A and B are shown apart, each in its own frame.
Chain A
Amino acid sequence: EAGVTQFPSHSVIEKGQTVTLRCDPISGHDNLYWYRRVMGKEIKFLLHFVKESKQDESGMPNNRFLAERTGGTYSTLKVQPAELEDSGVYFCASSGLGTVEKLFFGSGTQLSVL
Chain B
Amino acid sequence: TQLLEQSPQFLSIQEGENLTVYCNSSSVFSSLQWYRQEPGEGPVLLVTVVTGGEVKKLKRLTFQFGDARKDSSLHITAAQPGDTGLYLCAGRRTGANNLFFGTGTRLTVIP
Residues of A within 8 A of B (CB): 4, 31, 33, 35, 41-45, 48, 55-56, 58-59, 91, 93, 100-108
The CA of A103 and the CA of B100, in the complex, are separated in Å by 13
Q: Indicate the size class of the contact surface on chain B.
A: 20 to 34
- Stretch from B42-50, B53-61, B66-74 contacting the other chain: B42-50
- Contact, CB under 8 Å: A107 / B41: yes
- Contact, CB under 8 Å: A105 / B97: no
Q: CB of B25 within 8 A of chain A?
A: no
The CA of A16 and the CA of B72, in the complex, are separated in Å by 42
Q: CB of B94 within 8 A of chain A?
A: no
Q: Known contacts being A101-B31, A101-B33, is A45 close to B43, with CB within 8 Å?
A: no
A-B contact number at CB 8 A:
53
Contacting residues, chain A, for B35 (C-beta < 8 A): 105
- Contact, CB under 8 Å: A102 / B98: no
Q: Known contacts being A101-B33, A101-B48, A103-B45, is A45 close to B99, with CB within 8 Å?
A: yes
Q: Known contacts being A101-B48, A105-B43, A107-B41, is A42 close to B2, with CB within 8 Å?
A: yes
4 closest residue pairs by CB, A with B: A105-B42, A45-B98, A43-B101, A42-B103
Q: CB of B88 within 8 A of chain A?
A: yes
- Contact, CB under 8 Å: B97 / A100: yes
Q: Known contacts being A101-B33, A101-B48, is A42 close to B101, with CB within 8 Å?
A: yes
Contacting residues, chain A, for B103 (C-beta < 8 A): 41-42
The CA of A102 and the CA of B35, in the complex, are separated in Å by 11
- Contact, CB under 8 Å: B98 / A4: no
Q: How far is the CB of A64 from chain B (nearest CB, A)?
A: 20
In the complex, 25 of the A-B residue pairs with CB atoms within 8 angstroms, ordered by the A residue number, are A4-B42, A33-B97, A41-B103, A42-B2, A42-B101, A42-B103, A42-B104, A43-B88, A43-B90, A45-B99, A45-B100, A48-B97, A55-B97, A56-B97, A58-B98, A93-B42, A100-B97, A101-B33, A103-B99, A105-B42, A105-B43, A105-B44, A107-B40, A107-B41, A107-B42
